[in-house]
Amino acid sequence: MTTAFPLFYVDNTPYSQDDCDRIVAPLADSGPFQNPATCRLAVCLQDTAHWLALCLWLKPLGASVLPIHPGTPRQAAKTLAIDTGCSHLLFGDNLRDAAPEALETPENPGQAAGGELIQLSSGTTGKPKTITRSWRDIDRELTAYVDHFTEAQPLTPVVACPVTHSYGLICGVLAALERGATPHVVTNLNPRFILSRLRSVPEHLLYASPTLVSLLIRILPPSETLHTVMLSGAPLPAPVLNQLRDRCQRLCQQYGCSEAGCVALTANVTEPGLLGTPLPHVSLDAGTSAAQPDDVMITIKGSGQHINTRDLGYFDAHGQLHFLARTDDTINVAGINVYPGAVEDVYLSYPGIREAVAYKQADSFAGERVCLRFVADAELDIDHLKQWSREHLSPHQVPAFIEQVETIPRLPNGKVSRRLLSEAPAHTLAEEVPA
């Protein structure tokens, strides 16, 4: 590595612009890289520095790129590449031993002028879909993100999440470079190693999953706090959120979707579901109060594109967006809406319960009924829990079925799919205890 100013770090190793140029030099003027603007490339590299160097080289050249998580087997990566219309697959440990493999794709899907980032949706609502965003749209998002999130200006980003995903790549790495900061990307996810990296940059901005952040604060010495933590994805339950707020100097939350990127952000999370104010490159529509929520609708100002997030939310009197539930997850009990998060927060306050997920099942009398699965430290008395439920929940919120389980099934991306729980055959509820 050179002694030049580092562009980014991967674990403990700095990489300068000169280092990145050397990494990609063997590719220049070879194969599909002779005309990058016509290239539609799937990339699955074990070496994160090589992936970042490649991405930063191809983006201004107008290439289209599908980043694939490095843990993906070759055949699975090839299938993803073909399904998303890529012309070539670059697979290997690093760029020294990865030669671009030409692929036979059914048809050329076409691509935006200036190239695009190819992504897959989370798959929470079904089979993942191919989503493309032009680099020009991403540049507009980056400008808006940096302008809106002024609290990040003096901080050093520590990116402890995949940089093959838009959260880590766009908000963690590219936004840092946009504001002139040097991102520290962490691929060694040993919690003690991550804490050592955070201590090396005391004024840090941590990008990580809520699960990882929760683990870090459990092993963090009582005398220490994390500086600034960014959360993304589904809002945290109240008990978990309060634990994090106690151990962070600043807790932030951002909100968006695969099609639009980040569209709202708050630098001070004070309650579950608070998503913040819209970024300047979009306009958002939602309900007018918690009692009158509506679908969150995104309009991208540059293109006029309209996106229905299928999230139910509202703006408060201060212009802050709040999330209540996925529209499809809302439970209609005899005409009254029940939001799963509100039910889960109550059960997570019960001693010993570590995880809880509320979901719906069809009911011949009420239309839909609330069901609950939970994970606890020890076997709980369901009869006592049922009685406790009636004392802490409104009648329409009380689950019709409660089940204690060893684990709650999750999708490959770590998210819980209430839809899959709701669609489980009725006989799977046979051993559950009526509330």
Which of the residue ranges 117-126, 174-183, 303-312 would you say has the lowest mean pLDDT? Answer: 117-126
- The answer to the question of residue 127 being in a domain is no
Q: Specify whether 96 is located in the same domain as 205.
A: no
Q: What is the pLDDT of residues 134-145, one digit of tens each?
A: 999 999 999 999
Which domain CATH number covers 25? 3.40.120
132, 131, 113: which is closest to 62 by C-alpha?
Answer: 113
- The answer to the question of residue 128 being in a domain is no
- The answer to the question of residue 175 being in a domain is yes
pLDDT bin (cut points 50, 70, 90) of residue 432 is very low
Q: Specify whether 209 is located in the same domain as 274.
A: yes
Q: Specify whether 382 is located in the same domain as 303.
A: no
Highest mean pLDDT, choosing among 250-259, 333-342, 403-412 = 250-259
Residue 236 pLDDT: 82
- The answer to the question of residue 251 being in a domain is yes
Q: Specify whether 150 is located in the same domain as 285.
A: yes
pLDDT bin (cut points 50, 70, 90) of residue 285 is very high
Cα separation of 82 and 59, whole Å? 21
Cα separation of 143 and 125, whole Å? 30
Q: Specify whether 77 is located in the same domain as 141.
A: no
pLDDT bin (cut points 50, 70, 90) of residue 433 is very low
pLDDT bin (cut points 50, 70, 90) of residue 110 is low
Query: Positive or negative CA dihedral for 379, 238, 211, 372?
Result: positive
Q: Which residues contact 110 (CB under 8 A, 6 or more apart)?
A: none
Average pLDDT of span 309-325: 94
Q: What is the pLDDT of residues 33-55, one digit of tens each?
A: 888 888 899 999 999 999 999 99
- The number of folded domains in the chain is 3
Which of 328, 347, 375 represents a domain boundary (last residue)?
A: 328
Q: Specify whether 141 is located in the same domain as 277.
A: yes
Which of the residue ranges 147-151, 351-355, 414-418 would you say has the lowest mean pLDDT? Answer: 414-418
Q: Which residues contact 414 (CB under 8 A, 6 or more apart)?
A: 209, 211
Residue 366 pLDDT: 75
Which of the residue ranges 250-259, 303-312, 413-422 would you say has the lowest mean pLDDT? Answer: 413-422
Mean pLDDT score of the chain, rounded to an integer? 90
CB neighbours of residue 422 within 10 Å: 16
Which residues are paired to 250 by β-bridges? 228
Q: Specify whether 63 is located in the same domain as 153.
A: no
Q: Specify whether 157 is located in the same domain as 305.
A: yes
User: In which domain, by residue range, is 98 found?
Assistant: 6-120
Average pLDDT of span 56-64: 95
The share of the chain scoring above pLDDT 90, in percent, equals 69
Highest mean pLDDT, choosing among 24-28, 200-204, 394-398 = 200-204
Q: What is the pLDDT of residues 162-183, one digit of tens each?
A: 999 999 999 999 999 999 999 9
Asked whether residue 248 carries a pLDDT value surpassing 80, the answer given is yes
Exposure class string for 275-299: b at 16+ Cβ within 10 A, else e: bbbbbebbebebbeeeeebbebebb
Higher pLDDT, 149 or 39: 149
Highest mean pLDDT, choosing among 33-47, 179-193, 332-346 = 179-193
Q: Where are the beta strands (DSSP E) in 81-200?
A: 88-92, 101-102, 116-120, 130-134, 156-159, 184-185
Average pLDDT of span 102-107: 77
Whether the CB-CB separation of 239 and 218 falls below 8 Å is answered with no
For residue 37, give the amino acid letter.
A
Which of the residue ranges 43-52, 229-238, 399-408 would you say has the lowest mean pLDDT? Answer: 229-238
Half-sphere exposure of 103 (CA within 13 A, CB side): 26
Which domain CATH number covers 264? 3.40.50.12780
pLDDT bin (cut points 50, 70, 90) of residue 426 is very low
Asked whether residue 264 carries a pLDDT value surpassing 60, the answer given is yes
Residue 125 pLDDT: 53
Asked whether residue 215 carries a pLDDT value surpassing 70, the answer given is yes
Whether the CB-CB separation of 309 and 297 falls below 8 Å is answered with yes
- The answer to the question of residue 1 being in a domain is no
Which domain CATH number covers 340? 3.30.300.30
Average pLDDT of span 185-190: 95
Q: Where are the beta strands (DSSP E) in 316-379?
A: 321-326, 331-333, 336-338, 353-363, 367-376
Cα separation of 13 and 397, whole Å? 52
Q: Specify whether 32 is located in the same domain as 155.
A: no
Q: Which residues contact 239 (CB under 8 A, 6 or more apart)?
A: 345, 348, 349
Cα separation of 401 and 404, whole Å? 10
- The answer to the question of residue 266 being in a domain is yes
Q: Specify whether 260 is located in the same domain as 370.
A: no
Cα dist. 372→124, 223, 389 in Å? 19, 37, 11
Q: Specify whether 25 is located in the same domain as 173.
A: no
Residue 108 pLDDT: 62
Whether the CB-CB separation of 176 and 294 falls below 8 Å is answered with no
pLDDT bin (cut points 50, 70, 90) of residue 122 is low
Highest mean pLDDT, choosing among 182-196, 205-219, 325-339 = 182-196
Q: Specify whether 52 is located in the same domain as 147.
A: no
Which of 310, 328, 346 represents a domain boundary (last residue)?
A: 328
Which of 277, 293, 328 represents a domain boundary (last residue)?
A: 328
